Amino acid sequence: MPVLERSCFECHDGSVKKADIDLEALQDKGGTRLDVRLWGKVREVIKLKTMPPAKKKEQPTEQERQAILSWIGSAEKAVLATVPTDPGLHKARRLNRNEYGHTMRDLLGIGDTLGEKFPRDGGGGEGFDNNADTLFVPVLLIEKYIEAADEGLGQVYAKPELKARLIEQRPDGKITPSAAAEADLRDFASRAYRRPATNADTKPLLTVFEQASKRGLDFDASLRVAFKAALTSPKFLFLQEAGHPGAKEPWVVDGYEMASRLSYFLWSSCPDEELYRSAREGRLGDPAVIAQQVKRMLADARAAAFAKHFSGQWLRYEELYNTVDPDRNKFKAFNDSLRQAMYDEALTFSDAVLRQNGSVLDFLDSNYTFANEELAKFYGWPGIQGKEFRRVNMPDNKRGGVLGMAAILTSTAYPQRTSPVLRGKWVLEQLLGTPAPPPPAAVAKLPEDDRKLDTLTFRQTLEKHRSKVECMGCHSRMDPPGFGLENFNAIGEWRDNENGKPLDATGVMPDGQRFVTPAELRKVLLGEKAKFIRNFCTRLLGYALDRGLESYDQPTLLRLEQTLAQNGWHSEPLIVAVAQSFPFTHRK
Residue 295 in any domain: the answer is: no
DSSP 303: G
SS3 4: helix
* Short-list 471, 479, 426, CA closest to 445: 471
Residue 559 lies in a domain: no
What pLDDT was estimated at residue 230?
98
Q: What is the pLDDT of residue 220?
A: 98
Domain-embedded: residue 585: no
Cα-Cα-Cα-Cα dihedral sign, residues 484, 490, 496, 500? negative
Average pLDDT over every residue of 288-302: 98
107 and 58 in a common domain:
no
SS3 of 388-408: the string is CCEEEECCCCCCCCHHHCHHH
Are 388 and 484 in the same domain?
Answer: yes
Which residues contact residue 60 at a Cβ distance below 8 angstroms, ignoring those fewer than 6 apart? 3, 7, 52, 68
**293 compared with 441, residue with greater pLDDT:** 293
Q: Which amino acid is at 513?
A: Q
pLDDT above 60 for 444? no
Q: What is the CA radius of gyration of the chain?
A: 27
Least confident piece of the model among 20-29, 348-357, 454-463: 454-463
- pLDDT above 90 (res 366): yes
42 vs 540: which has the higher pLDDT = 540
95-138: per-residue pLDDT in tens? 999 999 999 999 999 999 999 999 999 888 899 999 999 999 98
Residue 384 pLDDT grade (very low, low, confident, very high; cuts 50, 70, 90): very high
Across 30-39, 288-297, 380-389, 525-534, least confident range: 30-39
Task: Among 76-80, 278-282, 357-361, 559-563, name the one with the lowest average pLDDT.
Answer: 76-80
Examine the fold and report which residue of 239, 262, 289 is the final residue of a domain before the chain moves on: 239
555 part of a folded domain = no
What pLDDT, on a 0 to 100 scale, did the predictor assign at position 347?
A: 98
Q: Look at residue 284 in the predicted model and tell me its pLDDT.
A: 97
How far CA 356 is from CA of 44, 112, 185, 407, 575, in Å, comes to 33, 24, 39, 22, 11
- 66: confidence class by pLDDT, cuts 50, 70, 90: confident
Is 180 strand, coil or helix?
Answer: helix
Quote the pLDDT of residue 265: 98
Within this chain, do residues 75 and 205 fall inside the same structural domain, yes or no? Answer: no
270 in Cβ contact with 263 (< 8 Å):
yes
Please give the Cα distance from 496 to 416 (Å, whole number). Answer: 18
**So what's the pLDDT on residue 65?**
76
Comparing 87 with 468, which gets the higher pLDDT? 87
Segment 526-532 long-range contacts (CB within 8 Å, at least 24 positions apart): 526/361, 526/364, 526/365, 528/432, 529/361, 529/364, 531/40, 531/44, 531/432, 531/433, 531/434, 532/361, 532/363, 532/364, 532/431, 532/432, 532/433
**Residue-by-residue DSSP string for 333-383:** T--HHHHHHHHHHHHHHHHHHHHTT-BGGGGT--SEEEE-HHHHHHHT--S
Same domain, 12 and 43: yes
**Would you call 570 helix, strand, or coil by DSSP?**
strand
pLDDT of residue 17: 65
- In the chain, the number of structural domains is 3
Q: How far apart are CA 47 and CA 65, in angstroms?
A: 8
Statement to judge: residues 361 and 510 lie in one domain: yes
Name the least confident of 77-81, 190-194, 540-544.
77-81
Question: Do you find a cis peptide bond into 52, omega within 30 degrees of 0?
Answer: yes
Say whether both 446 and 521 belong to one domain.
yes
Helix (H, G, I), strand (E, B), or coil: what is residue 77?
Answer: helix
Q: Which of 491, 526, 561 is the last residue of a domain?
A: 526
- Identify the DSSP state of 260: H
Q: How much is the pLDDT for 449?
A: 57
* C-beta atoms surrounding 580 within 10 Å: 17
Which residue in 446, 489, 493, 449 sits closest to 466, CA to CA?
A: 446
For the CA atoms of 556, 560, 566, 570, the dihedral, rounded to the nearest 10 degrees, stands at: 170
Angle at 57 between CA 53 and CA 63, to 5 degrees: 80
**Residues 382, 431 share a domain:** yes
Same structural domain, 153 and 40: no
Could you tell me which residues come within 8 angstroms of residue 376 by beta carbon, excluding any fewer than 6 positions away? 382, 383, 384, 392
**3-class secondary structure, 322:** helix
Angstrom distance (rounded) from CA 290 to CA 509? 43
pLDDT at 56 over 60: yes
The DSSP secondary-structure symbol of 110 reads: S
Q: pLDDT at residue 49 above 90? A: no
Asked if 293 and 275 touch (Cβ cutoff 8 Å), the reply is yes
What's residue 477's pLDDT?
79
| Of the candidate ranges 179-193, 337-351, 488-502, the one whose mean pLDDT is the lowest | 488-502
The mean per-residue pLDDT over the stretch 57-82 comes to 76
End-to-end CA distance of the chain: 34
Specify the pLDDT at position 173. Answer: 82
Q: Which of 9-23, 67-81, 400-414, 443-457 has the lowest mean pLDDT?
A: 443-457
Q: Where does the pLDDT of residue 159 fall: very low under 50, low under 70, confident under 90, or very high at 90 and above?
A: very high
pLDDT of residue 10: 66
| Residue type at position 74 | S
Does 532 fall in a domain? no
Task: Report pLDDT for 363.
Answer: 98
Final residue in a domain of this structure, among 221, 239, 257: 239
State the pLDDT confidence band at 75, using cuts at 50, 70 and 90. confident
Domain identity same for 125 and 56: no
Give the residue numbers spanning the domain of 102.
93-239
Residues 249-267 have a mean pLDDT of 97
Is residue 531 a part of any domain in this protein?
no
In this structure, are 17 and 51 located in the same domain? yes
Same domain, 441 and 484: yes
| Cβ neighbours around 387 below 10 Å, total | 10
Give the helix ranges, DSSP H, for 170-286: 177-192, 199-214, 219-231, 234-237, 255-266, 273-280
Reply yes or no on whether the pLDDT at 461 is more than 80: no
18 and 150 belong to one structural domain: no
Q: Give, for 72, the enclosing helix (H) or strand (E).
A: helix 62-80
Q: Give whole-number Cα distances, 368 to 161, 207, 330, 390, 498, in Å.
A: 44, 59, 30, 10, 28
Residue 338 lies in a domain: yes
Residue 278 lies in a domain: no
pLDDT digits (tens, 9 = 90+) for 562-585: 999 999 999 999 999 999 999 999
pLDDT band at 219 (very low <50, low <70, confident <90, very high): very high
pLDDT confidence of residue 290: 98
